[in-house]
Amino acid sequence: MSLIKFTNKGIYCPRAEVYIDPLKKVDRALITHGHSDHARRGHKRYLCTHASKPILRHRLGKIDCDSIEYHESLNINGVNFSFHPSGHIIGSAQIRAEYKGEIWVVSGDYKVAADGFTEPFEPVKCHHFITESTFGLPIYKWDDPAITANQLNEWWALNQANNKVSIILAYALGKAQRIIHDLDPSIGSIYTDSAVEGINSVIRNHGIPIKATTLFTPDINKKSLVGNIMVATPSIMNADWVDQLIPYDTAAASGWMMLNNTRKRRNVDQAFVISDHADWKGLLSAIQATEAENVYVTHGYTDFFTKYLRESGWNARVVTT
Ligand SMILES: [Zn+2]
């Protein structure tokens, strides 16, 4: 019996009777991180890292959730499980499963370059490695995080010099906190929308500091935003008060901003290539560091990436979960 199986409910460990990031309702779910395509509603019991737990509670409401420290080992029906930083967002983990010397690692989503905010990615040696391939094409190549942080602050300072409001659109969990970490508060004040501020509060309450932010509410004097920056989810662009912030400059931050058509589609003034996933080289270096002989490729450019791995000598295959 294989220690890990790919089923229509998701990645399954039959011996321990647990699923990892299950797609459908199950009795026991081990969760790599709080993004909604990994932490779904409706499972009977959840297990995640201590830092993920308040995020899961914030997003999923009342759930039966246990949590574990990074590197701590938990034995479930003879299988040893442990969680290791994946560098993706706060609390995110790769999940390691070991039984009688056979080791599997489910990496969830990961980013190899340290961003100074998220617990940095740690390679975990294993025989079987399950990897994402969101940016599994050679065209995806990220700049050093310090360079993109400078670009962000230069854009903000330029808008300030032109008496504009800066609005940067980002996903509420993960990307928003990373951007706030990158911003230089000596330039001005950082405002947030309610979705971003909700996650900020959860993370701060867990004891992880985030730079000072002010929740923007429509009753705030719009003039007070001139020269300052708002980190918000894209939906705020549909709010009726957003026109009152004119003149403003908008930006988006994502790995997809490498693609010209994505830049156009997002309809923003400025695009920053900032991702919480590994780029092409990051994926390859992570896989190499695991020393795994078997690689299973999930969401992303699975076919291309798997073909490349096979041609480079790995026993790789695409898995659909
Ligand atoms: Zn994610």
- Enclosing H/E stretch for 140: none
pLDDT, residue 83, reads 98
Angle of CA points 91, 151, 164, to nearest 5°: 105
| Distance (Å) from CA 271 to ligand 1 centroid | 20
> How far does the centroid of ligand 1 lie from the alpha carbon of residue 87, in Å?
10
The average pLDDT across 219-227 equals 91
Q: How confident is the model at residue 69 (pLDDT cuts 50, 70, 90)?
A: very high
What integer is the mean pLDDT of 69-80? 98
Q: Which residue has 């078997």 as its token pair?
A: 294
> What distance in angstroms lies between residue 308's CA and the mean position of ligand 1's atoms?
24
The confidence score (pLDDT) of residue 264 equals 75
Distance CA 170, CA 180 (A): 10
Ligand 1 centroid vs 35 CA: distance in angstroms? 5
CA of 258 to the centre of ligand 1 (A): 19
For residue 314, pLDDT over 90 is answered with yes
DSSP class of 257: G
Expressed in angstroms and rounded, the spacing between residue 76 Cα and the centre of ligand 1 is 25
- Tell me the CATH class for 5-139+277-318: alpha beta
Share in percent of the chain as helix, strand, coil (round to 5): 30, 25, 45
Q: Give the span between the Cα atoms of 212 and 172, in whole angstroms.
A: 16
> What CATH number has the domain spanning 145-272?
3.40.50.10890
Mean pLDDT, residues 264-293: 94
* 11-46 pLDDT, tens digit each: 999 999 999 999 999 999 999 999 999 999 999 999
The per-residue pLDDT for range 170-208, each reduced to its tens digit, is 999 999 999 999 999 999 999 999 999 999 999 999 999
The full DSSP string for 205-220 is HTT------EE--TTS
SS3 state of residue 25:
coil
Give residue 55's pLDDT: 98
Give the global pTM.
0.96
Query: 321 pLDDT exceeds 80?
Result: no
17 sits in which H/E element: none
Tell me what percent of the residues of the chain surpass a pLDDT of 90.
92
* Residue 261 pLDDT greater than 80, yes or no: no
For residues 39 and 60, the answer to whether their CB atoms sit within 8 Å is: yes
320 vs 239, higher pLDDT: 239
- Maximum Cα–Cα distance across the chain: 65
Which percentage of the chain shows pLDDT scores above 70? 100
Q: Which of 110, 117, 60 is nearest to 282 (CA)?
A: 110
Q: Which amino acid, residue 290? A: T
Mean pLDDT in the chain? 96
Name the burial class of residue 217, with classes exposed (0-12), middle (13-18) and buried (19+) by CB atoms within 10 angstroms of its CB: exposed
The pLDDT of residue 197: 98
Tell me the sheet residues that pair with 6: 11
**Number of alpha carbons in the 13 Å side-chain half-sphere of residue 57:** 16
pLDDT band with cut points at 50, 70 and 90 for residue 262: confident
- Rounded to whole angstroms, the Cα distance separating 293 from 165 reads 51
pLDDT for position 260: 78
Query: In angstroms, what is the span from residue 130 Cα to ligand 1's centroid?
Result: 15
For the chain, the domains span 5-139+277-318, 145-272
- Given a cut of 80, whether residue 263 has pLDDT beyond it is no
What is the rounded distance in angstroms from the CA atom of residue 59 to the CA atom of residue 159? 34
294-300 and 10-13 beta bridge pairing: unpaired
Query: Is pLDDT at 286 greater than 90 in this prediction?
Result: yes
